[in-house]
Amino acid sequence: MTDTVERSAGREPETITRVVVRFAGDSGDGMQLTGDRFTSVSAAFGNDLSTLPEYPAEIRAPAGTVNGVSSFQVQISDHDITTPGDAPSVLIAMNPAALKADLNRLEPHGLLIVNSDAFTERDLAKAGYASNPLADESLAGYRVVEVPMTSLTQKATEPLGVKPRDAERSKNFFALGLVSWLYSRPTEPTLEWISTRFKDDLVRVSNATAFTAGFNFGETTEQFEHRFVVLPAKLPPGEYTNISGNVALAWGLVAAGQLAKLPIFLGSYPITPASDILHELSKHKHFGVRTVQAEDEIAAVGMALGAAFAGHLGVTTTSGPGVALKSETTSLAVSLELPLLIIDVQRGGPSTGLPTKTEAADLNIAIYGRHGEAPLPVIAAYSPANCFDAAIEAARIALKYRTPVILLSDGYIANGSEPWLLPDVASLPDISVPFATEMNHTNDDGTTEFWPYLRDPETLARPWAIPGTPHLMHRVGGLEKEDGRGDINYTPENHQRMVDLRAAKIAGIAYDIPPAVAVGDVDDADVCILGWGSTWAAIDAAVQRTRRRGLKVAWVHLTHVNPLPPNLGEVLKKYPRVIVPELNLGQMCRIVRANYLIDAKAVTKVQGLPFTARELEDAIEGALQ
Amino acid sequence: MSDTIVPVTTKKDWTSDQEVRWCPGCGDYGILLAVQQLMPELGIAPENTVFISGIGCSSRFPYYMNTYGMHGIHGRAPAIATGLAVARPDLDVWVITGDGDGLSIGGNHLIHALRRNVNLTILLFNNRIYGLTKGQYSPTSEIGKVTKSTPFGSVDPPFNPLSVALGAEASFVARTHDLDRKHMMDIFRQAHAHRGSSFVEIFQNCNVFNDGAFDDVTSRQVREEMMIDLRDGQPIRFGAGGHKGVVMGTDGQLRIVEVADVGEDAILVHDAHRDDPGLAFALARLSHDDHSATTFGVFRDVDRPDYGMAVGRQLAETSSKKGPGDLATLLRSNGTWAVV
Ligand code: SF4
């Protein structure tokens, strides 16, 4: 893999510890693919990394406009990192619109590589530029490198018989080649990938040629003062793969089925940004995974519930609007006391909101969004790879307590990726639960009966007797049930008892989850950060940086957001200040204030983007003033 | 669950210990009795049978059957039953719904269950009224119906449930009524025998809020002249001695005629297995109101792949091609690298 580095030994690459690269172009320019390749090669090279893909909600927004810009940001590092980086140190802008949309992200004096061919009058006008920024002083604060990528690609591929129009489609590979040179990435893996990925002969050689041309351009041009290398990170030893949150979640569900010894049934309706879980699970039928693309969100959860009644691990995947539609069925599942997984990959809301952007504003609907007293456990994944464990944990709780569980992910971790140290499959927990097979109640006259609502004294879970089991025929439904027997019962005392029992069952789960643990300056922190979900990455970076500067900071991160760990109040009360960063207007903060009567302060952001580490550093400093 | 032993049961084995709570005189009683009486004849076991319902008077039905059952939520029974039937093709799954439940709030689930041809026996109790909410018009109520929510008469045009089912590509479509247990049992038996979705509309009298809605067609006194009972392979005749019949005019319209006027050979012969649903559609709509001769029986009974079986087959095929899933292999399927 060091081949390419040695070949260009004429210009010794300068070693840097990390770099944030942002590829930006038109939706049709293949920026996601380009970013993905750069990420994969860096992962295989041994860097730690974190990605942030951003793309428009429109499938084909008008070409060349700011609305149609698609970007991919990746941070690669020689040490452990968790975020895709605050500000990119290099921006590759494939057209004026990309420059316009993303220039404000680039760090001061950052490296700006532009495809100068795309800065025609027409494209400048489409992007809303009155004058060409390459010709005026507006880019003076950056190191600008103009590369005519389109024409260089056309020239390189012309001998192959590629028409200029078709060659244009390979220009992203030219850019990838150039950036690969700039950061001393090995070329072989990408060339190999190109050779298997593209079936059409001409497209394949055109892309490979463009890639090589981009790489060689870097080597021969004098436009770059330096070339860099980010050495492999010293990660814990083991076998790694690069994984996105949606794939990790899908694999976690497959694993949960295996660990529970149950077939998986997924009922799902396509919705951004959750659809990839449906796509991924649809591939794994040989694991006993059934997937049905339902007629709507309501049917999707209904089918999953029907499958749960039948003895499968029923799952439905969606985003905020779908959670709202599934609410009635979720309440039925609370009443039926059947295991069910509802996965909410959150996005900007309300309503259609920002379908391709991230937010974490569904905490309230997850915890409270049902009619009647309908409590259920809520779990929030904190990183792409953590989605795997979170799916297994959600399934464990659903099965053990016969309850619907809502698992929260979000667009940021769903589409973002990171290296994942593969777990030893044999060490994953057994989460299987037995089905009921016997009568469970003896009458005074010695006859026996099956009581579907006779609870396990410890977990308060009711028996799960599936159709096909002789003698245990029973009816369940949304009407209130008599405690124990399960017959319809409308009496006041019984309803009170059943509401209390259902609440106690969920509350009791608090004692079956890890306690809240503070990290950092545990004993003498001046401020404690309470985080949940995907804010983990930015909090981690901000806590490290502020502590390095001598600030006393502690941090508690929650994955079980309902019920909360029983010791959480006690832990938080140790600190004079508590701040709660959230991608909403303070939903968790209100919960901890109400639960523990502490003066926690919310740090909020609702811009469709994750927190940057910088923003949270400022929040920590602000709290201490 | 063995295939070789045919379970021997009696009506009592299928009857739960729950007190039936429909209004006295409700048509639902007759339907319940027909189902409970039929079950022992089907050679199936109560433990392998599931009744799923939505919300409404009819949806209380599962509580009265000594089988597995779920009283679901309004309109969603076909969706819940789809999950059940796809997960477990070994089970006998029945859906009990009504005109409000199945055609209003749950219309989308009903048509998609029929389109997919999920192996379900769907009984839609059509009483042309909302009973449980105490008397509002339903999507099958006639225009002009005066109810609590339409004091000046309904201006909503109604659905013909069979047209909806046929339009949704249903592979088995039939109609019966609550006053003739033998007819119901015969239709339910055929519906159950059909693999895939079977849709049965049952004219059901709600004696509290819409009493006598079907009297002009189904009451004992008029039945002979008003019920056109379709028999597969038989000329479509009715009335005393079969003096009336159905013909197709040169304009493609179906008409009721005196057999003596046109001759026996001109009478349309019913074929429920005809692939094209056009004639079934026309027959289902022969009557445009509740006061003229109306068709009953099995309109359509054709073979289409059962959805749950098709899903299961894909699982089996993938397993035989790839072998059983191996988690460790899956986790490595996107490429890995080692850190030492
Ligand atoms: S309201 Fe009508 S349909 Fe409902 S139980 Fe009474 S009579 Fe039957």
Give A1's pLDDT tier (boundaries 50, 70, 90): very low
Give A480's pLDDT tier (boundaries 50, 70, 90): very high
| Residue A102 confidence (pLDDT) above 90 | yes
CB atoms within 10 A of CB A265: 30
pLDDT, position A61 = 80
What is the tens place of the pLDDT at every residue in A553-599? Answer: 999 999 999 999 999 999 999 999 999 999 999 999 999 999 999 99
What is the tens place of the pLDDT at every residue in B224-282? Answer: 999 999 999 999 999 999 999 999 999 999 999 999 999 999 999 999 999 999 999 99
pLDDT, position A44 = 86
Angle at B108 between CA A329 and CA A373, to 5 degrees: 15
pLDDT, position A6 = 39
Cα gap A193→A179, rounded to integer Å: 17
The protein residue with its alpha carbon nearest to ligand 1, atom 1, reads B131
The CA-to-CA distance between both ends of chain A, in Å, stands at 50
What is the tens place of the pLDDT at every residue in A437-465? Answer: 999 999 999 999 999 999 999 999 999 99
Cα gap A130→B139, rounded to integer Å: 60
Quote the ipTM score.
Answer: 0.97
8 Å CB contact of B87 and A306: yes
The protein residue with its alpha carbon nearest to ligand 1, atom 5, reads B22
pLDDT, position A225 = 82
The CA-to-CA distance between both ends of chain B, in Å, stands at 54
For ligand 1, say whether the CB of B127 is within 6 Å of any of its atoms.
Answer: yes
| Ligand 1: nearest atom to the Cα of B134 | 1
pLDDT, position B4 = 59
pLDDT, position B1 = 45
Mean pLDDT of A504-516: 98
Residues of B whose CB is below 8 A from A308: 83
Angle subtended by helix axes B28-38 and B181-193, to nearest 10: 50
| Ligand 1: nearest atom to the Cα of B27 | 8
Q: How would you write A504-563 as a 3-class SS string? A: HHHHHHHHHCCCCCEEECCCCCCEEEEEEHHHHHHHHHHHHHHHHCCCCEEEEEECEEEC
Instruction: Find the length of chain A.
Output: 625
**Residue B120's closest CA among B229, B194, B26?**
B194
Name the residue type at position A264. I
The answer for residues whose C-beta is within 8 angstroms of residue A615's C-beta and 6 or more apart is: A538, A542, A605
Burial class (CB in 10 A: 0-12, 13-18, 19+), B235: middle
How many pairs of residues across A and B have Cβ atoms under 8 Å apart? 205
| Residue A9 confidence (pLDDT) above 50 | no
For ligand 1, say whether the CB of B204 is within 6 Å of any of its atoms.
Answer: no
CA-CA-CA-CA dihedral for A429, A267, B81, A284, to nearest 10: -60
Cα gap A548→A301, rounded to integer Å: 48
- Which parts of chain B sit beneath pLDDT 50? 1-2
Give A11's pLDDT tier (boundaries 50, 70, 90): low
What is the tens place of the pLDDT at every residue in A353-381? Answer: 999 999 999 999 999 999 999 999 999 99
Strand order of the sheet with strand A527-532?
A: A518-520, A553-558, A527-532, A578-582, A601-604
Ligand 1 center to B23 CA (angstroms) = 5
What is the tens place of the pLDDT at every residue in A215-243? Answer: 999 999 988 888 999 999 888 999 999 99
Q: Closest chain B residue to A465 measured between Cα atoms?
A: B68
CB atoms within 10 A of CB B155: 10
CA-CA-CA-CA dihedral for A352, A353, A356, A361, to nearest 10: -110
Cα gap A264→B86, rounded to integer Å: 12
Mean pLDDT of A378-389: 98
Pairing of strands A553-558, A578-582: unpaired
Q: How would you write A379-409 as a 3-class SS string? A: EECCCCCHHHHHHHHHHHHHHHHCCEEEEEE
For ligand 1, say whether the CB of B31 is within 6 Å of any of its atoms.
Answer: no
What is the tens place of the pLDDT at every residue in A20-44? Answer: 999 999 988 999 999 999 999 999 8
Name the residue type at position B218. T
- What share of chain A has pLDDT > 70, as a percent? 98
Report the mean per-residue pLDDT for chain A: 95
What is the tens place of the pLDDT at every residue in A253-280? Answer: 999 999 999 999 999 999 999 999 999 9
pLDDT, position B2 = 46
pLDDT, position A2 = 35
Q: Closest chain B residue to A470 measured between Cα atoms?
A: B47
What is the tens place of the pLDDT at every residue in A171-209? Answer: 999 999 999 999 999 999 999 999 999 999 999 999 999
Give A3's pLDDT tier (boundaries 50, 70, 90): very low
Q: Closest chain B residue to A189 measured between Cα atoms?
A: B335
